[in-house]
């Protein structure tokens, strides 16, 4: 919501308001006293050290940052903090670095507390005047590192220059001993202020504060005011808004003039006001492209307007009395509060005899134009100016200003004017300048502004307008007595709730919620206000879906708001440009229908049906969705009263619903971009009409609907990427409901002709060259009702199985394989299982093996493309489908579930639960535990069930977080103790340990090493473990997904010494086999694989026997590899290895070998490198590679 700084500043001022502080998550006081005191006291100890200085500054920033929301907590402590710091500044022994650091600390405190309060706490006695002035004079304005010093000194001088006697008394004898004339104090201050107004840093702002304080002195005004204004005119005339330096200067001058006219005496400034106004107009600053220049110009103009008008309170203004809730309640219990304070007669007569200068009209005109500016800060400043100036006008002229503000609210104006008008109305109302007689004109305008939205291309404008309108409602709640707003309560409450619940912007929803809460508390006559505020609070309205589907239903249960909410959804949200809003609106209407069913049938549907076939795309889309949802809601309502939907909807509406498809088809609305919206919308309509059991069976409309579904499936390749999933989901949902309702002749019996046609068509489309057509066809087969699958099961499963296996070889169509795997489970679950059943009608011993084999093979789909490991989609679907089929068979015919199938399934799940991707590891783990702990039914033949139960007790279903690598791997590695799970678990761990994710690699390695440490002294167990490792490596030599991580893992194990028991035996078989397998990579051109082999070779040098010579030979071959990076990596690893295992060579040549490895530039020319390599061969007594 738009907040007003002056609102905060004026609280407790002329309005007599002092808002109570609500204690929530607030601080009770300044709790960092000791730390702050110690930090300030230690300034002399580290002021010269850059690092210590930065650390100390950051500490103070952190401390003060806690109090940015409650800076008033610093007030009791400002005095001692400033006194401690100023001691260092005023000390003659303080070096410059300590002085500048002290000012840095001061600027941090000033930033948090605000310069107005901060500067009042600075010492301002006579004794500090000259030291501050002299210190400021000695500063270098070009030193960018010490701007904080100059900034604080300018603020300090602003306070000290307010001494209550003429400054010329401080000059003394202006003639010095050497006959040179000293510059007067006032001249020095003015020269400093002017110079810093032209500075390029933040000191410009402090200089403008100095000007405003200095120039309001009587002695300075008489002597220097005219000259300073002339200097400003000259500076402004010489600058333009094209150069950055000129813009900064113009901003400084305008800001200083604005502050001067704010703080100066009116009698002194009035003579200069017309000239300043003329200068601003001639310079055309209000037409500048710079937002800050326009804002400062508006600020100056409003101050000029206040200068032209005498300072006084308007006698005619509306005065509510005390606006503090606590004070109001206490007063209401004792004595009644008068509604309006009667102004005294003298003020009335003074008001009537007061002449308004002509310049005021120009000022107001500029402010009204500023309300329409494109920049928010300009509009906001203009709105405050309107409020301030209007407060000094007679009643008749003020009413004219209000009328001019209301002229902003026409549909010829842009959203900028609407927001500016709202801000101005809020200011007028807050100041009591908007009389109750004007509410008749104002309230309808604000109601429109609360729902203002102007479509612009693919988006809209109006969020700022609605936010400002909420601010107006908030301000009105504080400005008027309940009796004044009582006639408009229903309109305001309904409009605020509509914005709270249905606005697209979370900012506007929260602003409207706050405004509604303010009205409930201060007006007290909003219907059901407390209940609604409790439900629709600041945090609850932050979730858009929650607002539309939950909170709106609660609010609509109060009859005062139901119709307004429905009307808003129909008029503003069903045709919204955002598809999410249209969809949520339709769902909201579904939930609101039971509250006003008659209104929905007699009014709403009649409005929506013409829109459903109209020419506006967004309206058409939203109307179709709304018609579908309302019809379905009426059907569900009819079930409670034993009425059909056609009894509740008129025949004309039924015919209109039936004819929507044909109308859209005739108008070719299913083509092009619009078709991407119309197709899913119509499929949703088909679904809802089918679920509502509309009497369309055997009518031509069913054929038309089926054509739309089939055409959508066959033409998915024409749809843009962002809409494919939503369209596919809508099409499948529509087909499922349509076939369930209209293709079933009797319970359990489908129309044979339609069944043959659809099944054959979708099975044929499974072989389509288009991936999306395959996906749609697979899901279509999976969504068919049971009666349409029965007697066609063999044909369907064969088609789906072929799509999973044939396209696997092609390596593409991943999404199609995923959907086919999902469809297999859906089909199987629908037909059920029967031991003696036909393979064409149910799952039975004849087809269970094929189904499970297909799903198990899909669990090993590791297809990758530019998107990454896309095969994971297939694996995830396969795991879910396998679980569904297994539980189905275990519950109906466990005898047909063989032990081999269960073993393969559990092992594959264990492998997936040990792999590196968190999401799929978590899914595999949850499926694994679900099958293990299933009691109804119990899955038979689970290998090592008792051991698994001890590793994964029942509590781990909820307590074990599989996504957290720190938890998952310490459980999964325990499966390595179980022989039947060892291979697959180790295969999964291999991929995790050799991955690139730091946390996964770390925790998987920790868990693996913990297991290996337990068996490293058991040669038999370690031998079995090594055999499994070699089997994995042997079977995945050509699979980089496994082979490279495997090499990394084995290298880590060698480095940790887990195979040390093997190194004591010469030519150990594990080493020989591993070396033979690694040698197969010698001709590869895969650099990561070669580098991983080098690491393994280097670690294997610790083995004894002839194998060591063979390993050295391979390493020396790699030292002469054509790839420089391989040579360099090999030399580096070999150097480290020989440092560790010095017994590899004779001690006589050790230094020569190490020196040659270290000094040779192995990325150099190949012939030179190979000559060095051959020298190493001779020293290491290894034959030279040919």
DSSP for 678-707 reads: HHHHHHHHHHHHHHTT-S-TTSHHHHHHHH
**Contact (CB, 8 A) for 1081 and 1130:** no
Q: What is the pLDDT of residue 10?
A: 41
What is the Cα 502 distance to its own chain's centre? 20
* Alpha-carbon separation of residue 697 from 636, 646, 691, 694, 738 (angstroms): 20, 14, 13, 8, 10
Asked if pLDDT for residue 289 goes beyond 70, the answer is yes
Query: Does residue 1122 surpass a pLDDT of 50?
Result: yes
Q: And the tokens for 154?
A: 């300018």
pLDDT band at 355 (very low <50, low <70, confident <90, very high): confident
Judge whether residue 9 has pLDDT over 80.
no
Whether pLDDT at 23 is above 80? no
State the pLDDT at residue 178. 53
280 token code pair: 């601003």
274-288, 328-342, 441-455, 741-755: segment of lowest average pLDDT: 328-342
Q: In angstroms, rounded to a whole number, what is the distance separating the alpha carbons of residues 535 and 530?
A: 9
Q: What share of the chain is helix, strand, coil (3-state, %, to 5)?
A: 70, 0, 25
Is 19 a residue whose pLDDT tops 60?
Answer: no
CA distance 64 to 473: 35
**pLDDT-above-70 percentage for the chain:** 93
Q: Return the DSSP state at 444.
A: H
Condensed to tens digits (0 to 9), the pLDDT of residues 872-916 reads 999 999 999 999 999 999 998 999 999 999 999 999 999 999 999
**Per-residue confidence band for 349, with pLDDT thresholds at 50, 70 and 90:** very low
* pLDDT of 818 strictly over 80: yes
pLDDT (mean) for 676-681: 92
Average pLDDT on 374-401 reads 92
Phi, psi (rounded to 5 degrees) for 550: -120, -60
Question: Residue 318's pLDDT is what?
Answer: 86
Q: Which residues pair with 744 in a beta bridge?
A: 750
Q: Taking the CA of residue 203 as centre, how many other CA atoms within 13 Å lie in the half-sphere pointing to its CB?
A: 29
Measure the CA–CA gap between 1040 and 950, rounded to whole angstroms. Answer: 35
Residue 390 tokens, joined: 């209007």
Alpha-carbon distances, residue 928 vs 250, 909, 1135 (angstroms): 72, 6, 47
SS3 track for 434-448 = CCHHHHHHHHHHHHH
Nearest CA to 947 out of 910, 907, 984, 974 is that of 974
């Amino acid at each position: 919501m738009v907040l007003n700084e002056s609102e905060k500043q004026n609280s407790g001022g002329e309005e007599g308001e002092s808002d109570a502080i609500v204690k929530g998550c607030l601080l009770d006081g300044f709790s960092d006293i000791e730390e702050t005191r110690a930090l300030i006291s230690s300034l002399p100890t580290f002021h010269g050290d850059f690092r210590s200085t930065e650390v100390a500054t950051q500490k103070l920033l952190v401390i003060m940052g806690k109090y940015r929301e409650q800076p008033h907590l610093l007030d009791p402590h400002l005095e001692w903090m400033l006194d401690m710091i100023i001691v260092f500044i005023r000390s003659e022994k303080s070096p410059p670095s300590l002085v500048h650091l002290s000012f840095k600390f001061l600027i941090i405190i000033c930033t948090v507390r605000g310069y107005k309060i901060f500067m009042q706490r600075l010492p301002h006695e006579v004794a500090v005047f000259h030291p501050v002035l002299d210190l400021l004079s000695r500063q270098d304005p070009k030193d960018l590192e010490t701007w904080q010093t100059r900034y604080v000194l300018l603020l300090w001088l602003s306070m000290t220059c307010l001494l209550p006697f003429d400054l010329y008394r401080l000059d003394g004898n202006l003639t010095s001993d050497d006959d040179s004339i000293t510059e007067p104090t006032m001249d020095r201050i003015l020269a400093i202020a002017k110079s810093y107004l032209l500075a390029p840093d933040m000191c410009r702002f402090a200089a403008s504060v100095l000007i405003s304080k200095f120039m309001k002195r009587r002695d300075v005004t008489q002597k220097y005011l005219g000259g300073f204004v002339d200097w400003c005119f000259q500076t402004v005339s010489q600058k333009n808004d094209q150069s950055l330096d000129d813009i900064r200067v113009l901003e400084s001058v305008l800001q200083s003039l604005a502050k001067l006219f704010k703080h100066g005496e009116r009698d002194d400034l009035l003579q200069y006001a017309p000239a300043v106004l003329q200068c601003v107009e001639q310079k055309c600053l209000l037409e500048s492209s710079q937002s800050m220049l326009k804002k400062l110009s508006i600020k100056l103009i409003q101050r000029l307007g206040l200068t032209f008008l005498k300072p006084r309170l308007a006698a005619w203004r509306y005065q509510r009395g005390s606006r503090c809730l606590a004070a109001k309640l206490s007063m209401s219990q004792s004595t009644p509060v008068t509604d309006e304070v009667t102004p005294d007669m003298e003020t009335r007569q003074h008001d009537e005899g007061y002449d308004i200068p002509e310049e005021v009209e120009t000022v107001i005109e500029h402010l009204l134009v500023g309300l329409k500016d494109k920049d928010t800060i300009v509009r906001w400043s203009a709105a405050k100016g309107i409020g301030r100036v209007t407060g000094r006008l007679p009643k008749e002229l003020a009413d004219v200003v209000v009328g001019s503000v209301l002229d902003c609210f026409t549909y010829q104006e842009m959203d900028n004017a609407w927001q500016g008008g709202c801000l101005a109305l809020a200011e007028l109302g807050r100041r009591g300048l908007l009389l109750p007689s004007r509410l008749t004109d104002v309230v309808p305008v604000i109601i429109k502004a609360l729902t203002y939205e102007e479509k612009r291309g693919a988006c809209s404008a109006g969020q700022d307008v609605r936010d400002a309108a909420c601010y107006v409602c908030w301000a009105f709640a504080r400005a008027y007595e309940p009796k004044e707003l009582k006639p408009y309560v229903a309109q305001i409450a309904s409009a605020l709730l509509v914005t709270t619940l249905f606005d697209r912007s979370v900012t506007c929803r929260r602003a409207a919620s706050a405004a509604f809460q303010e009205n409930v508390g201060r007006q007290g006559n909003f219907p059901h206000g407390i209940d609604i505020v409790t439900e629709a609070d600041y945090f609850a309205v932050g979730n858009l879906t929650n607002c539309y589907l939950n909170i709106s239903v609660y609010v609509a249960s109060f009859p005062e708001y139901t119709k307004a909410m429905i009307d808003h959804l129909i008029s503003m949200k069903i045709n919204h440009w955002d598809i999410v809003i249209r969809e949520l609106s339709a769902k909201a209407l579904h939930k609101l229908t039971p509250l006003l069913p008659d209104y929905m049938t007699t009014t709403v549907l009649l409005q929506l049906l013409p829109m459903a076939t109209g020419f506006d795309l967004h309206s058409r889309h939203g109307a179709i969705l709304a018609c579908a949802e309302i019809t379905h809601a009426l059907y569900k309502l009819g079930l409670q009263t034993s009425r059909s939907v056609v009894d509740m909807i008129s025949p004309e509406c039924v015919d209109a619903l039936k004819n929507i498809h044909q109308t859209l088809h005739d108008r070719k609305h299913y083509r092009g971009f619009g078709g991407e919206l119309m197709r899913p919308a119509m499929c949703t309509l088909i679904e809802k009409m089918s679920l509502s059991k509309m009497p369309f069976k055997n009518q031509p409309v069913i054929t038309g609907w089926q054509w739309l579904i089939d055409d959508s499936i066959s033409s998915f390749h024409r749809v843009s990427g962002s809409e494919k999933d939503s369209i596919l989901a809508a099409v499948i949902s529509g087909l499922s409901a349509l076939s369930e309702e209209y293709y079933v002749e009797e319970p359990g019996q489908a129309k044979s002709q339609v069944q043959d046609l659809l099944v054959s068509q979708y099975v044929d489309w499974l072989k389509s060259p288009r991936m999306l057509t395959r996906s749609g066809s697979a899901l279509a087969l999976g969504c068919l009702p049971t009666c349409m699958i029965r007697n066609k099961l063999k044909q369907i499963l064969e088609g789906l199985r072929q799509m999973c296996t044939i396209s696997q070889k092609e390596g593409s169509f991943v999404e199609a394989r995923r959907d086919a795997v999902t469809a297999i489970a859906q089909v199987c679950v629908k037909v059920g299982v029967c031991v003696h059943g036909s393979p064409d009608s149910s799952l039975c011993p004849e087809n269970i093996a094929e189904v499970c084999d297909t799903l198990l093979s899909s669990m090993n789909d590791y297809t990758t493309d530019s998107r990454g490991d896309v095969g994971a989609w297939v694996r995830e679907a396969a795991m879910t489908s396998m679980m569904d089929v297994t539980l189905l068979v275990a519950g109906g015919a466990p005898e047909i579930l063989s032990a081999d199938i269960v073993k393969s399934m559990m092992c594959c799940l264990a492998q997936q639960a040990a792999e590196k991707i968190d999401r799929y590891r978590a899914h595999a783990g949850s499926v694994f535990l679900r099958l293990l702990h299933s009691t109804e039914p119990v899955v038979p033949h689970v290998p090592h069930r008792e051991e698994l139960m001890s590793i994964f007790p029942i509590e781990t279903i909820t307590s074990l977080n599989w996504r957290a690598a720190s938890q998952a791997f310490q459980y999964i590695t325990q499966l390595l103790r179980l022989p039947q799970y060892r291979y697959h678990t180790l295969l999964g761990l291999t991929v995790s340990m050799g991955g690139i994710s730091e946390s996964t690699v770390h925790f998987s390695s920790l868990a693996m090493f913990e297991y290996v440490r337990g068996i490293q002294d058991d040669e038999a167990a370690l031998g079995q473990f090594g055999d499994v490792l070699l089997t994995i490596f042997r079977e995945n030599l050509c699979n980089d997904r496994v082979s490279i991580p495997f090499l990394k893992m084995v290298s880590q194990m060698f480095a940790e010494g887990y195979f040390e028991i093997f190194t004591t035996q010469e030519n150990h078989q594990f080493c020989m086999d591993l070396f033979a397998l690694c040698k197969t990579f010698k001709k590869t051109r895969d650099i990561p694989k070669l580098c991983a082999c080098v690491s393994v070779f280097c670690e294997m040098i610790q083995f004894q026997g002839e194998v060591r010579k063979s390993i050295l030979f391979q390493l020396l071959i790699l030292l002469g590899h054509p790839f420089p990076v391989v040579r360099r990596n090999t030399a580096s690893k070999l150097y480290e290895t020989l440092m560790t295992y010095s017994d590899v060579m004779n001690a006589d040549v050790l230094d020569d070998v190490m020196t040659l490895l270290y000094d040779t530039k192995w990325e150099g020319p190949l012939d030179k490198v190979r000559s060095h390599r051959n020298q190493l061969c001779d020293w290491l007594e290894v034959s030279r590679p040919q």
